[in-house]
Structure 1
């Protein structure tokens, strides 16, 4: 199967590192013109330089915007009025006991992880309808199905993304625009790697051992028994953006290593 996204524009939010950057790179490899997004000039420049170093012929634009705010979403849409592909990837996580999560954190997580995708999808859907083609993908998580007790506020946002993606897909029935959610399991992104690195240092063990212990203790249902790579997640996203995936919509596509103990 050869996925060809030539002449398609793809906006990937939160794409300076980790899963977002891997998705942007995968889409660029398939021929898409990619728009990288981050919160600082330095981060987006570094990401663009890294992407062009890997793919010198790639067409890459950047937009600096904090998508946790309505103003940031508006700034991105002003810079990129239309897109064929929207990857709602930007997100934050933080382990914290439920009793210690203040109202401000609940709001911050919802604004960043949920409202960013709501605002951008609302802005870009009309153009996709007009062209009778489009792809919207929410990067959710297995945590949206199996809420992690160590970060319930994060799990709440990932469940919300599943509701939005399914409802939006149904609202776009017959338009040629597909909407899906991709559910990574524990993945060795930059943020997760830093998290485990810090824990390993504090406990005086190797990071690899810390990762294995986390999977064994907190995700014992994992079938692959390891963290996924960002490229493995990106591969699913690139496929879902392809013409070949035109019959896949309203779906929750799991790249969770079998963590969710469900066939469907």
Structure 2
């Protein structure tokens, strides 16, 4: 294989390895962003559940239409969050998310019962007692909902850390393999070039020392092989010229001796 081809292949593999490393880093970043987004949504749901718990306690202690309206707004916000994330929540949470959904539905049912009661201004003793009982149940349900979501948040964080560790290990292995492949190819190319250069250098030195019968005999078909074969042809021509010159010198010396006699 020619040197230019070897260098081109090595360069292509280096670029491929760099592409693998870049894609691995991008994938890891995407996983981190995805997990961060999921944890942010869960954190928002936990906050909404805690707000529902606080408003439920206010409904129990300080019942008013204003608090009830605020509770309704918080419930709608929590409902939107739950519906937006329902698909992956069902996949991730399993039974825990089923319990969250059940608690939320029961909480909504209690609130609808409270809304059916008489307005606060026209509250009678029976409605006040029923409202207090419903508010107590809502407080208990909202606290249970908040506790379930906090438990799910902890599980999701643990799952996220474990997934990041797995992804990090895979990326580390992929980068190590890519780096090892590139390093091996570079070492192979370096060894091949230095070995051929050393062979040529030794051949030049031996010919320079007068060993005109020495041949490099390089069998490779790359640029070094062409150089070695050209050097061998040159050495052969020099050897032929030297032999002719030596023969001519011997003949001339013989003629001189004959003339002297």
Q: Same fold per TM (> 0.5)?
A: no
More helix by share: 2
| Pair member with larger Rg | 2
TM score, norm. by length of structure 2: 0.24
Larger proportion of strand: 1
